[in-house]
Amino acid sequence: MTRRQGLSLGLLGAALAFGVCEAVSRAGIVRRSYLPPASEVLARAVRLAGDPAFLDGIGVTLRAWALGLGLACAIAVPLGLLLGAVPVVEAAARAVTEFLRPLPSVALIPLVSLLLGSGTETEVTLIAYASLWPVLFNTVYALGETDPLAKETLRVFGFGRLAVLLRVELPTTAPFIAAGVRISAAVALILAVATELLSGFGQGLGIFIAQAETATDGTRDVLAGVVWAGGLGLVINGVLVGVERRLFAWAQESRPETGTSERGRP
């Protein structure tokens, strides 16, 4: 199957899904207030793009997202390099991280809002905490997988620890770190929306959804908000994948999007 055929089948699939949702709602199989027709939801989502207040909300959410993710990367990459480069430190830190990681990050929302109040600070802190882990773990694991031969060769030629880090380890680790950032970006969006949904006032995509929920017949607005949230997630992921492909074209990392079956010879 060529790429073009796949794409057109995909569009057909999307149209089918759209049609089914539309039909289920119009035929009255479920209550219209539960599942409004897909066309109405989509129309509303498009109309929201012209609503300055809504766009401001999206801006607020995206700013918190970017700040949190940036903070997480600024902490996780150096920390991961340290942990990955010094095995003793990694072993020492592992117990602490193994205890912190399984804690579902949304559970921290009550604690952090008690500590910092309910504002941007809380949101950014929570986003940064949650999106720290994928970047950190990817950095540590990737550093453990760098080619020992290349490192030894540099050492034999008299390069120091730092030179080895800069010349061998960072370049091999970078694609993995980027993949970690991509996962973190999705996590950060989850936390941004979750925090806003719970805080309930102010501005943001989550707050728009929370307020639409309480309005009568608000499902259409809630779903329009969900469409926006999914769209944001797709755009963010697409941009990051594109950046990764461009920057690390030399890295032979098999990404889930590329699949493996095409290359398998029958």
Partner 1 sequence: MTAIRGNGRPAAPGGAAAPFLLRWSVLLVAVVCWELAARAQGSVYFPPPLRIARHARDLWFSGPVGHLFLTSAAVDTILPSLGRMAAGFALAAVAGIALGITVGRSRVAYALCNPVLQFARAVPPPALVPVFVVVFDFGTPMQVASIAFSAVWPVLVNSAEGARATDPLRLQVAAVLRLTAPERLWFLILPSALPRIFAGLRLSLSLSLILMVFSELLPGSDNGIGFTLTDAQTRSDLLTVWSALLLLGALGYLLNTGLLAVERRLVGARTSRGRTA
Task: Tell me the torsion sign for CA atoms 112, 113, 115, 120.
Answer: positive
CA dist., res. 49 & res. 32, Å (int): 24
Residue choice 10, 78, 119, 242 for contact with partner 1 (CB under 8 A): 10
CB of 94 to partner 1, least distance (A): 6
CA dist., res. 14 & res. 37, Å (int): 15
CA dist., res. 248 & res. 50, Å (int): 37
Residue choice 102, 158, 246, 249 for contact with partner 1 (CB under 8 A): 102
Q: Which of residues 190-249 bind partner 1 (CB under 8 A)?
A: 190, 192-194, 197-198, 205-206, 209-210, 212-213, 218-219, 222-223, 225-226, 229-234, 237
Q: Considering beta carbons, is residue 71 or 212 the nearer one to partner 1?
A: 212
Q: Considering beta carbons, is residue 115 or 163 the nearer one to partner 1?
A: 115
Amino acid present at 106: V
Contact 225, 208 (CB under 8 A): yes
Q: Considering beta carbons, is residue 115 or 166 the nearer one to partner 1?
A: 115
CB of 235 to partner 1, least distance (A): 9
Residue choice 27, 98, 249, 250 for contact with partner 1 (CB under 8 A): 98
Q: Considering beta carbons, is residue 23 or 115 the nearer one to partner 1?
A: 115
Q: Which of residues 136-175 bind partner 1 (CB under 8 A)?
A: 137-138, 141, 144-146, 148
Binding mask 113-132 for partner 1 (x = CB under 8 A): xxx-----------------
Nearest to 105 by CA among 210, 198, 16, 215: 198
**Is residue 134 at the binding interface for partner 1, with CB under 8 A as the rule?**
yes
- Alpha carbon distances (Å) from 116 to 64, 113, 126, 205, 264: 15, 5, 11, 21, 54
Amino acid present at 64: A
CB of 171 to partner 1, least distance (A): 17
Contact 68, 192 (CB under 8 A): yes
CA dist., res. 157 & res. 159, Å (int): 6
Which DSSP letter does residue 118 get?
A: S
- Alpha carbon distances (Å) from 168 to 71, 88, 105, 143: 26, 21, 34, 10
CB of 142 to partner 1, least distance (A): 9
Binding mask 18-47 for partner 1 (x = CB under 8 A): ---------------xxx------------
Residue choice 24, 42, 75, 93 for contact with partner 1 (CB under 8 A): 93
CB of 200 to partner 1, least distance (A): 8
